[in-house]
Amino acid sequence: MNNTANIVTPNIITVDGPSGAGKGTLSLLLADKLGWHILDSGVLYRVLGVAALKHHIALDDELKVAQLARHLDIDFKLNPSSQEVEPVLEGDNLAGLIRTDDAGQAASKVAVIPAAREALLERQREFYRLPGLVADGRDMGTVVFPDAPVKIFLTASAERRAERRYKQLKNKGVDANMRALLDSIKARDERDRTRPVAPLVPANGAFIIDSSELTITEVLTQVLEFSAKSMPEILAG
Ligand SMILES: Nc1ncnc2c1ncn2[C@@H]1O[C@H](COP(=O)(O)OP(=O)(O)O)[C@@H](O)[C@H]1O
Ligand SMILES: Nc1ccn([C@@H]2O[C@H](COP(=O)(O)OP(=O)(O)O)[C@@H](O)[C@H]2O)c(=O)n1
Domains annotated for the chain, with CATH where assigned, are: 11-227 (3.40.50.300)
pLDDT of residue 9: 78
Considering only 7-11, 70-74, 143-147, 198-202, which range has the smallest mean pLDDT?
A: 7-11
Mean pLDDT of the chain: 94
Q: Would the ipTM clear 0.85, i.e. be above it?
A: yes
C-alpha of residue 188 to centroid of ligand 2, in Å: 9
pLDDT of residue 231: 87
Neighbours of 188 (CB within 10 A): 22
Q: What is the mean pLDDT of residues 83-94?
A: 95
Q: Which residue among 15, 43, 45 is best mutated to probe the pocket of ligand 2, counting the most ligand atoms within 8 A of its Cβ?
A: 45
Q: What is the mean pLDDT of residues 82-108?
A: 94
- Tell me which of 132 and 2 has the higher pLDDT: 132
Q: What is the mean pLDDT of residues 167-189?
A: 93
pLDDT of residue 82: 86
Going by pLDDT thresholds of 50, 70 and 90, the confidence category of residue 173 is: confident
Task: Report pLDDT digits (tens) over 24-43.
Answer: 999 999 999 999 999 999 99
Task: Give the global pTM.
Answer: 0.95
Does residue 42 line the site of ligand 1, with CB under 6 A? no
pLDDT of residue 237: 54
Q: Give yes or no for residue 6 having a pLDDT over 80.
A: no
Using N-to-C axis directions, what is the helix angle for 216-230 and 23-34, rounded to 10°? 50
C-alpha of residue 23 to centroid of ligand 1, in Å: 7
Alpha helices in the chain (DSSP H): 23-34, 41-54, 62-70, 101-110, 114-125, 158-171, 178-194, 216-230, 232-235
C-alpha dist (Å) from residue 106 to 43, 54, 170, 171, 212: 11, 11, 22, 23, 26
Q: Give 139's DSSP letter.
A: S
Does residue 111 line the site of ligand 2, with CB under 6 A? yes
Task: Report pLDDT digits (tens) over 152-166.
Answer: 999 999 999 999 999
Going by pLDDT thresholds of 50, 70 and 90, the confidence category of residue 186 is: very high
Q: Which residue among 164, 165, 214 is best mutated to probe the pocket of ligand 1, counting the most ligand atoms within 8 A of its Cβ?
A: 164
pLDDT of residue 203: 98
C-alpha of residue 8 to centroid of ligand 2, in Å: 29
Q: Give yes or no for residue 1 having a pLDDT over 50.
A: no
Does residue 18 line the site of ligand 1, with CB under 6 A? no
